[in-house]
Amino acid sequence: MYNWKFSRFKSLFLARLALEQGSGRFSHSWMAREKENGKKQEIFFIHSMRFHMYAVIKTGGKQYKVAAGEKLKVEQIPADIGSQITLDQVLAVGAGDTVKFGAPLVEGATVLVTVIAQGRHDKVKIFKMRRRKHYQKRQGHRQNYTELQIVSINA
């Protein structure tokens, strides 16, 4: 018989240990199980922690914290879908409990990304009105974006 309580205790212990040590960023993978007889049983979670290398990049006048494998929507970048781009404006790089900050950029650090899609965000409606002056103005705006897949972080 599998010891459910021990697995829950062990995973919570490891998660708390990682947080106390300040070991950077970790991700959880959650899994729920039930018994075979179909009765509702308590659901437990298994935490598997994987430490990632992350970077803070600057593109389109904004800053983003990214890790390998993540998808990200940024301001429009003129590039073809499927092409790979190297982003060289890296402000910080971290892995585990070590972080390297640039002044203002980290030298030699790059982030390799693949362009997944080009698109437009949902419409934002703008309505201006001046009371008692018979002035009403309606306007809409759709911002262009580029969706990126982070391939690797080189530091």
Of 24, 16, 14, which is closest to residue 56 (Cα–Cα)?
Answer: 24
Chain mean pLDDT for the chain: 81
CB 95 within 8 A of CB 54: yes
Domain assignment of residue 93, given as a range: 53-155
The rounded Cα 131 to chain-centroid distance in angstroms is 44
**Same domain, residue pair 10 and 79:** no
3-state secondary structure of 14: helix
**Same domain, residue pair 7 and 45:** yes
Predicted confidence (pLDDT) per residue in 29-70, tens digit? 444 444 445 554 444 444 444 557 999 999 999 999 999 999
**Same domain, residue pair 83 and 145:** yes
**Same domain, residue pair 150 and 91:** yes
pLDDT at 32: 45
Distances (CA, A) of 36 to 30, 33, 40, 138: 20, 9, 10, 59
Based on the structure, what is the number of domains in the chain? 2
Residues in the chain where the model's pLDDT stays below 70: 1-51
pTM over 0.75: no
pLDDT at 7: 55
